[in-house]
Structure formats: structure tokens, C-alpha cells
Structure 1
């Protein structure tokens, strides 16, 4: 009964111009989250415009045809809510969490920002400088710098390998003409998903969305999305002024749409998803070789990336790499125990159930599911698929994806003399 009631609370409407409105009514909450998600991210940019999606995400807050930047800041504070905006490889999101009585004001603010930005030349020049400083911050943050260098090598000559924030060469070229042109094509109604969760009325949000976006032109926007072919680089970058060495161990992985994604996430959890995981216990707790160590995945629409990451002293990097490879070999050769799998399943299911209490989590989930899968996926469906995963599924998955010739390695730090060959990455 609970599952059916939850499905009954989710409604979706697609307007004639292609814009999608999807809501989940949660009448027992006093909070509500409304957001606007765009089916465009850095993956959809040509090389010469690398970073423009992220630039637009920043620039829309500099003012609209109705509001100044200060007006936007004051109104956000007055609503007392939490405003979030972010750019990813395959989408851009804007959301605002407020009390339920302020949902219409929140949508008016968000939709004005997204649909009617001013893009004044003087404002764009200021934001260019801000983002160039952001790029410098990445260069001064070893973990982020290594991630960008590694992505470029892992996805050579592909948008997934380019930095989301752009480069010092591309960002200064984002003048008003370029920014406005890209915004009009990318923020067309058919690329927009309006999602909300909380004590809201679906029909009213549909009405509000139609009022705002009916006047937005639907210009031709069909960027080619080439499926990437991951490489298997071994990348050693020397940076002498670092106290720690930072490493990434990676391989191709199931995509966000793959039926294997549930087994893939459970395997990540067992390997390095928490303090009871194999990597954490082996490298940090038993040997004290690292403060930060774990495993994670980046899942795109057509490819995924498995990563082990760690930060350690340069003279311990080889040992951390060898211990990590030992755990990868073990999980590819031996079924995990029933106890380990049960723990990973309990952790995943708890995360899902706890997320049901948050309007912001549920609004974001609605939007991402619509963009990635084109439909709402009830929590009980996800939980059922998690429960079906067996130890044999995890071993088969590891054998399929964790292959010697597909393993990649990256390291950054004071690494004079450090070497890695393919034999050391043998599974």
C-alpha cells in the first residue's frame, strides 16, 4: 500500500513545447523544493566553448530583465531557503528549498534567472575573472588537479575528458553574443525539466511553467553526443611542492542506464564505500598508510568510470597501489561473503529510505531519473533490484570490467623515480 501511495503522489506533464513538469506531493512536510534542470552539460559543448555551460550557470545570477544581482540575493535571503546551482557533464541544475507557502515566489525567482538572464557585457567580464580564479583554485588543489589531468588522459579528445569549468583559453571568449546564443539553444523548453517535491500542487506548477516558458523560443539544438572510448593511461605527474602523493586507479564501468548499475554500486561499496570497506580497513585502519582512501564511480549515460583514490606519503605510494590491486584481484577471483553483501545492501537501502524524508533529495531524484531514464523509478523497484544481486553477480562484474589491459593509473606529487608498468596493474 505504501508503494502504491508513493506512486500516486508522483505526477508528470509534458507541455506542447517539450518542457517536462514532474512533481511528488508530500503534504506532511512544511518544506518544498522546486528546481529547473537542463539536459545540457559540458559534454554537449564544442571544444572551443569548453566551460560555457558552467559559465552560464554562474552568469544567470548576475541579473535578469526584472531583477539585479542584488535583488536576486535579497529575495533568496528573504525566502529563507537554500539555493543550489551546479553544472555536470550531462546536465545543469538550479533548485531552491523553501517553506511550502513560498513555492510560487521560489519558482518565479528561479524561472526568471533561468529563462530571462540579462547577460550584460560588464557582468560577463566580471564573471570571467571569477571563473578564472576558480580554475586557479583547482590547480592549487591536488585531488582536483589530478582528477582533471587523469580525465583528459582517460577520455582523450572527448568532451568527458575536458574540465567542466573550462580553461584559461576558452573562458575569456565567452562574450555576450556567444553566451546568449548558447543559452538560447541549450535552454530551449524541450531541454528543461521542472521538478518539485513537498507540499505542492502539480496543476499550479504546470500553469506557472507554461506561463514562463511558452514565450521561450525552441531553437534547433541537437548536439552530437559521441560515445567515448576510454583509454588505459599510466599517468605520472610530478609536483615537488606537495607533501602527499595522490593516486587514482581506474577502469571502465557500467553506465547510469546499465542493468548492471546496482551490482556495480554494491561492489564499489564493498571495496571502498565506507569505513568498513576493504580498502579503508586494509590501507587506513590496519596499516595507517592514508587518511583518505576509498572507491567511487562516475556514471554517464553511455559509460561509467570505476575509481580507487588515495592520498599518502610519496614513499608509501607503491605499497598503497599494491594493496589496492590486491583487493581488486581478490574481488575478481573470489565471491564476496554473504555478510559483506548484506552490509552493502543495507547501506544502499538505508540511503534510499533516508532520502525519502528530504524534499530536495526527492526533487533532484525526480529530475535525474527523467533525464537519464525518461521515467519515474519508484524506490521499491530500486530496492527490489538491489536485493536481487548475488555474490556471483559481483564476481562476474569484476571479471568483466577489471581487466589488466583496461586498468588505468594516475599519480601526482613529489614522485621523482616512481614508476608503474602494466604488469603491476595485472588483475
Structure 2
């Protein structure tokens, strides 16, 4: 069910009488793409700070309240939204709503807390450097989307975080956290009316407070005119290869389902071509898969493989062969059927707890402004034909490819020719 409060905040719920829990999420339609270039990382930094203190709570008192009821409280920031969430017993839903609203709406961003949490965020940035798989993924989005705001890392950079001030963070909070951009999503053993009642009490006048207009999302095309190749030197036993192609945004929603079927067949499961050819048949990599990141006006289809450096040429060659084959011939009917079944089964099984249901409610309301019933999504997947997938593959796989290599290489000249062939680039002349 759905209710819009007088402030403009939306409340969406799903009753699950067969559980004893409630998952509560306050979703804010603000992410890293909504930052100005000189405030890179502000959305994520703010998410950290809001937990430190409110007018009536400290970080410790929040922790004590949630521990006392066995609850979970956390938050995350993405490129397009931020979510503050709690998972509690159904009888403690009112407490969870009050806490997440207090944190998100009334967190104070005190100067002392900014200086303290700055060090925590800098440690988080350092952790990313120590996780080459995640690093390769971030660098790939930047390579594929170029100068688009979506290309900026959610976490920011050392320089942007070190220069962030308390006034800048508070201004970001006041200017971006507008009630009309917020969704309170609750799933579990609750009723809609009681959630609305608790939401009114928890948000109060704060949710209706005025705020400066947020930047308008441009909606311009994000695809690069040509692919890029990025080499990021990193000591380690493996090389991490990520190849990406610009794909469709949510505005082209009709293409979502055949793209999902295509992705699963390429590298989304154990029967996928990437897994079977690169790992099972040749033993070239332990981890190999494909994935899709979809945003309002752009997206990225990517392939990842982690392998020993002396296997990089063979892995890149197999990726090229697989993508070229699918771009030319599409998928077999058996592959399409298998992928449709896997997607439908995974969607249903993935929604068997209240937290997953809440995530689907909140993210869907922010993205589309309405809830898509599970049955409709399942029907849309089942309706995808081999020709639908062939058309999407033909369009997608003719687009420019970008690649990121994180591993023991200093520059492009050290990379194998097979990698350049995989992304359609000429190999540079060897260094003299």
C-alpha cells in the first residue's frame, strides 16, 4: 500500500503475516551523481555522519536501543540513492521507524564528528585499494561513462574527503534531503495504517522543513564515443580484468528483461558461457562472471575475471570469442529458456525475507514512483523471446568496449595482444 504524507514523503508497505519481523528503510533519492564536482563523496560522508548524533540521541544510545531489541541498524549509499534501514521484531517497528527518521532527518553533522569520521572514510577508501576486484569495477564504470556524474566513485577520493568541511556537509544535508525525495518502506508483520501513524509521529515538522533546490539530474546520454583502456598497477598474485560496454538506462525499460536474460547466459550462472568456457573447460580463472548496472539514464554491462598474469591473454581471447559469437548468432533457445527459469526462480527465492521485500519496495518507489507486482515481473521475464535477446545483443555488442586491468603491469605496452583484440583497439608499439 502507498500513502503520501502532507510533507511529500511517501510511505509504502507490504504486509507479511507469516513472519515475526519488520524491515524498515528510509530511502532518499540522493546519491553520488547528485554532488557537484567539488563535493565528491559528500553523500556517502553524510550517511556516516548522520549516525553520530541527533538532538536527542548519540551514536552510543542508538546502538544501545537497537541492541536491547536484537535489531540491526545500518545504511548504504549508491550512485542514485541513500538508504537508512533497520531490521527488528514486528513489535519494535515503531522504534525502528523513529530511529531511522531521527538519524536521517535530524543528524547534526557536528564539526568534531566530521573530523573524526573523516578518518574512517579515508580508511574505507584505503580498503578499496586493497580489494582489486572492487577497484576494477569502480574504474570500469568511470572508463565506460567518461565525464558523466555517474562515473564518480561513491566513496569520493582522498583529496575530496580531506577538504570536506562541516558547513559543506550540513549544506548538502539541508539542500538534498527533501521530503518529496524520501520514501519510507516497511515490509513485515505490520499494517499500513500503523506504519503511517508511526511515520507521522517520527517525521513531524522536520520532514516538512524547506530546503534549497537539489541539482537536476541531466538525463543526457552517458555512453562514451570510443572505448578506453585503463591500467592500474597493483602488486598481487592475480590480474583483475574488467571489460565494459555502455548499455541502457531505466528510461528504456522495455529492454530490461531481454538484457537480463542475455546477461545470465553470458556470465550470470554456473551454466553460463563464461563460466563453462573459462573456468570449467580451461581452468583459466576461479572467479569469472558478467553483470549489469542500470541507472536512470545509462548503464554498464561488464565482464570480470581474476586470473594469473600468464593466463590473461587466454582469458581475454575467450571473452572476445564469446561476445563475438553472441553478437553474431544470439543465444540458443535452450540458453534462453534456462536463463528465463534461473531469473524467475532467483527473483522469487530472493524475496523470501522481509529485508529483501523492503528493498524492492523502496528502490522501486524511488526509481519508478510505483510498485511493480512480483507476478508482473515474472510474466515479463517469461515473455522474453530468443529474437528479443538477439536484438539486444546485436545492439549492445557493437558498442565501444572499455577495459580495466588491475595487476602487475605498468602500462599498455606490457599487455598481451589478445586483450587489445577483445576491446577492439590497436596494440601500441613495444617500448624500445
TM-score greater than 0.5 by the shorter chain? yes
- CA–CA separation in structure 2 for the residues paired with 1:58 and 1:91: 14
Match of residue 85 from structure 1 = 75
Contact 2:9 2:181 in 1 (8 A): yes
- What is the CA deviation profile of residues 278-323 of structure 1, one whole-angstrom value per residue up to 9, with x for unaligned ones? 1001000111100110000100011110000001111211111110
Match of residue 429 from structure 2 = none
| 1:359 and 2:357 are equivalent in the alignment | no
- CA–CA separation in structure 2 for the residues paired with 1:50 and 1:228: 21
Contact 2:143 2:230 in 1 (8 A): no
| 1:138 and 2:132 are equivalent in the alignment | no
- CA–CA separation in structure 2 for the residues paired with 1:53 and 1:238: 26
Match of residue 211 from structure 2 = 219
Contact 1:189 1:213 in 2 (8 A): no
Give the drift of 1:384.
0.8
250, 267, 270: which one pairs with 1:272? 267
- What is the CA deviation profile of residues 77-112 of structure 1, one whole-angstrom value per residue up to 9, with x for unaligned ones? 112122231000000011111111110011111111
Match of residue 368 from structure 2 = 373
140, 152, 157: which one pairs with 1:167? 157
- CA–CA separation in structure 1 for the residues paired with 2:422 and 2:311: 15
Structure 1 SS opposite 2:304 = strand
189, 198, 201: which one pairs with 2:191? 201
- CA–CA separation in structure 1 for the residues paired with 2:99 and 2:105: 10
- CA–CA separation in structure 2 for the residues paired with 1:224 and 1:402: 31
Contact 2:275 2:288 in 1 (8 A): yes
Structure 2 SS opposite 1:178 = helix
Match of residue 15 from structure 2 = 25
- What is the CA deviation profile of residues 28-83 of structure 1, one whole-angstrom value per residue up to 9, with x for unaligned ones? 21111111000000000001111011011111111111111111111121121222
Aligned ranges 1:115-134 → 2 under 5 Å? 115-134=105-124
Match of residue 403 from structure 2 = 409
- CA–CA separation in structure 1 for the residues paired with 2:378 and 2:195: 30
Structure 2 SS opposite 1:96 = strand
Of 206-215 and 261-270, deviating more is 206-215
- CA–CA separation in structure 1 for the residues paired with 2:309 and 2:139: 19
- CA–CA separation in structure 1 for the residues paired with 2:216 and 2:242: 30
| 1:425 and 2:407 are equivalent in the alignment | no
**Is the alpha carbon distance of 1:103 and 1:240 closer, same or farther for their aligned partners in structure 2, counting shifts above 3 Å?**
closer
Contact 1:244 1:314 in 2 (8 A): yes
**Is the alpha carbon distance of 1:149 and 1:354 closer, same or farther for their aligned partners in structure 2, counting shifts above 3 Å?**
closer
Match of residue 5 from structure 1 = none
| 1:313 and 2:308 are equivalent in the alignment | yes
Match of residue 8 from structure 1 = none
Structure 2 SS opposite 1:125 = helix
Match of residue 248 from structure 2 = 254
Give the drift of 1:423.
4.8
Structure 1 SS opposite 2:56 = coil
Aligned residue pair count: 416
Contact 1:155 1:228 in 2 (8 A): no
- CA–CA separation in structure 2 for the residues paired with 1:225 and 1:381: 29
Structure 1 SS opposite 2:269 = coil
Match of residue 343 from structure 1 = 338
Contact 1:17 1:218 in 2 (8 A): no
Structure 1 SS opposite 2:241 = strand
- CA–CA separation in structure 2 for the residues paired with 1:29 and 1:150: 40
Give the drift of 1:132.
0.6
- CA–CA separation in structure 1 for the residues paired with 2:221 and 2:70: 43
Of 143-152 and 345-354, deviating more is 143-152
> RMSD across aligned C-alpha pairs, in angstroms?
1.7
- CA–CA separation in structure 2 for the residues paired with 1:269 and 1:107: 37
40, 55, 60: which one pairs with 1:65? 55
- CA–CA separation in structure 2 for the residues paired with 1:123 and 1:244: 39
Contact 2:20 2:89 in 1 (8 A): yes
Match of residue 223 from structure 2 = 230
Gaps of 5+ in 1: 1-10
Contact 1:36 1:192 in 2 (8 A): yes
Q: TM-score scaled by structure 2?
A: 0.92
Aligned ranges 1:233-244 → 2 under 5 Å? 233-239=227-233, 241-244=235-238
- What is the CA deviation profile of residues 224-271 of structure 1, one whole-angstrom value per residue up to 9, with x for unaligned ones? 222243224332415252211111111111223421101111111111
Instruction: Please identify runs of 4+ aligned residues in structure 1 that moved more than 6 A.
Output: none
